[in-house]
Structure 1
Amino acid sequence: MTRRLIVTADDFGLSMEVNEAVEEAHRKGILTSTSLMTAGPAAEDAIRRAKRLPDLGVGLHLALYGAPAQAPADAIPYLVTPAGDLDGRSTATGVAMTLSSAVRRQVHREVEAQFRAYRLSGLPIGHLDGHWHCHQHPWILGIAIEVGKPLGLRTMRIPYEPVRPSVLAAKGEGWARRIAHAASHWSLAAHMRRRLKVNGMASNDWFFGKNDAGHVTPGLLQQMIAALPEGVSEIGLHPATGPWSGDHAPPPDWQASGELAALIDPDTRAACEANGVRLCRFDDLV
């Protein structure tokens, strides 16, 4: 069995700094995929860049919390803050979805609005992933499949980071946290696999970067590549050319420019070649 690797930059369209990094990492480095935040302040610029990068796989970065909203605020009152952005209380929103059909209808409206905006971009939909991995939530997953499948959605990220290669890549750093995270998310990943299989949709087998978001150095990325298990893995990153300000600025401790440096480091591509890892996109899975 071969080892294939999708390398994705999330938050495309959130800022010019992210957009510039996505283009640079694809042209100069190993980035094969990105996911568009349709309501992001720099979404129009992201769409223009994607159209001049035909080999870059692009998908929908579905956002239900902690991001700009696509639907009008009066259509999704529970989901938004007074400023009109999607609320960052992910746990509260998740519980409310489970308990309230009214909240689920609002989620459906926001998901529909984001898919509609993506279609209007004219870009093919290569895959779906989620801001803060929101699409793991069983209700969000079901709504995303219901809305996206008729529009051509055929692949989706399963954000499950296996323990052994994660610990090996990090050289033991945070081993307890990595084990706890895998244990607490195993059932969600299993549910996702079942739902996607029933709907004839493809996915990655493994995901890396979840435990190290915003802190992936060139060395760590190269260690991840060396530790990849057999099958299709995805490494998800958040590169940017630098920090930016505003309501959706990155956490102050994130090293987004360091993640860009990791993607374009010549030793990173050499690590893929040395370990027999073949780069691919979600489109290549179907």
Structure 2
Amino acid sequence: MRRLIVTADDFGGSPEINKAVIKAHLEGILTTASLMINEPGADEAIELAHRHPTLGVGLHLVLCKGKSALPHEKAPKLVKPTGFFEDSPLRAGLKYFFDRALKSDLKKEIELQIRKFRGTGIPLDHISGHLNIHMHPVVLDILLDLHKIYSFPAIRLTYDPFGLGLKLDRRNLFYKITHATIFSFLSRRNRPLLIKACLPHADRVFGLLQTNYIDKQYVLKLLSHLPEGTSELYVHPGQHSSHPEMEALLSQEAKQVIRTNQIKLIRYRDLQRS
């Protein structure tokens, strides 16, 4: 059986993103969205999520290049005076790994974002991370501790198969090599921990190696070569220059390939029922 979760990241990032997410869900193949709980469009996204309960909505954890839940005064080494995190995911990742004194503040920030999401009344579909920061060893270990309290229904394990990625599209080769190397290592480290914690996750996640290059041609090829098991494709509709992604999500050809290949579109929460 082939099952596919199609997720829009950065839900709540702006009114344009929110509009695109709902359109892609109602008219296209989108099944879930990942909500940035602290961003300017979050309140509108929450209202839209309540009006469209068939859309699975998860928490898109922000720990770099975005706004924090904690004020600067409560976590001065983690949060800038402006109320934002470090912009660079590389610098943030190194800081979180080597400055272990930050772990307490990181846990407070992560738990506050989780509690803010729970306060919306939206059923939590999954946990993911902005720029995949949730795959960071320190962050993932904190999430596993919090899973004992909050019982997350699922989490994104970001593993985008390099060989299949090259078969689908050979553009942006250096980016593909570097990111496949980093996230293959992280997924090998994290997958056994998720299995031990009984945390559902997809077998593979597409989108990482195709950042900024997702279009209808790529999606059609992916659907035609989708492996057995559960896969996720994450996209960023409604953002600058993301028109090719919307075209892919709304494509009648994509819907036809899904029907022909008997691919079942699901949300993360559906993994618990299988």
TM norm. shorter chain > 0.5: yes
Residue 5 of structure 1 and its aligned partner are, at CA, apart by 0.4
1:131 equivalent in alignment to 2:126 = no
Residue 238 of structure 1 and its aligned partner are, at CA, apart by 0.3
1:240-251 matched pairs, under 5 angstroms:
240=238, 243=240
Q: 1:202-227: per-residue Cα shift (whole Å, max 9, x none)?
A: 10011111122233111111111112
Residue 123 of structure 1 and its aligned partner are, at CA, apart by 0.8
Q: 1:25-48: per-residue Cα shift (whole Å, max 9, x none)?
A: 000000001111000101010011
Q: Give the equivalent residue in structure 2 for 1:284.
A: 270
1:31-110 matched pairs, under 5 angstroms:
31-110=30-109
Residues 66, 177 of structure 1: alpha-carbon distance in 2 compared, 3 angstrom cutoff:
closer
Residue 8 of structure 1 and its aligned partner are, at CA, apart by 0.2
Residue 16 of structure 1 and its aligned partner are, at CA, apart by 0.4
Q: 1:123-167: per-residue Cα shift (whole Å, max 9, x none)?
A: 111110110000111110011222244223021011111022211
Residue 276 of structure 1 and its aligned partner are, at CA, apart by 2.3
Contact 2:71 2:79 in 1 (8 A): no
Q: Residues of 2 paired with 1:72 and 1:145: CA distance? A: 24
Residue 275 of structure 1 and its aligned partner are, at CA, apart by 2.2
Equivalent position to 1:219, from 203, 217, 220? 217
Task: Please tell me the residue identity of whatever aligns with 2:31.
Answer: T
Instruction: Please report the RMSD computed on the Cα atoms of aligned residues, expressed in angstroms.
Output: 1.5
Q: Secondary structure at the match of 2:4?
A: strand
Q: Give the equivalent residue in structure 2 for 1:178.
A: 176
Residue 102 of structure 1 and its aligned partner are, at CA, apart by 2.1
Contact 1:115 1:148 in 2 (8 A): no
- The range that moved more, 67-76 or 119-128, is 67-76
1:256 equivalent in alignment to 2:242 = yes
Task: Please tell me the residue identity of whatever aligns with 2:180.
Answer: A
Contact 1:133 1:159 in 2 (8 A): yes
Task: Please tell me the residue identity of whatever aligns with 1:212.
Answer: Q
Q: Secondary structure at the match of 1:60?
A: strand
Q: Which runs of 4+ in 1 moved over 3 A?
A: 174-177
Q: Secondary structure at the match of 2:209?
A: helix
Q: 1:12-71: per-residue Cα shift (whole Å, max 9, x none)?
A: 101001100110000000000111100010101001111111111111000100011111
Q: Give the equivalent residue in structure 1 for 2:199.
A: 201
Q: Residues of 2 paired with 1:107 and 1:164: CA distance? A: 35
Q: Secondary structure at the match of 1:69?
A: coil
Contact 2:180 2:209 in 1 (8 A): no
Residue 274 of structure 1 and its aligned partner are, at CA, apart by 2.1
Task: Please tell me the residue identity of whatever aligns with 2:214.
Answer: V
Residue 267 of structure 1 and its aligned partner are, at CA, apart by 1.0
Q: Secondary structure at the match of 1:263?
A: helix
Task: Please tell me the residue identity of whatever aligns with 2:53.
Answer: P
Q: Residues of 2 paired with 1:156 and 1:130: CA distance? A: 9
Q: Give the equivalent residue in structure 2 for 1:13.
A: 12
Residue 180 of structure 1 and its aligned partner are, at CA, apart by 4.1
Q: Residues of 2 paired with 1:94 and 1:178: CA distance? A: 19
Provide the identity percentage: 34
Residue 258 of structure 1 and its aligned partner are, at CA, apart by 2.2
Residue 109 of structure 1 and its aligned partner are, at CA, apart by 1.4
The runs of 5 or more residues in structure 1 that have no matched partner are 244-254
Contact 1:3 1:232 in 2 (8 A): yes
Contact 2:160 2:204 in 1 (8 A): yes
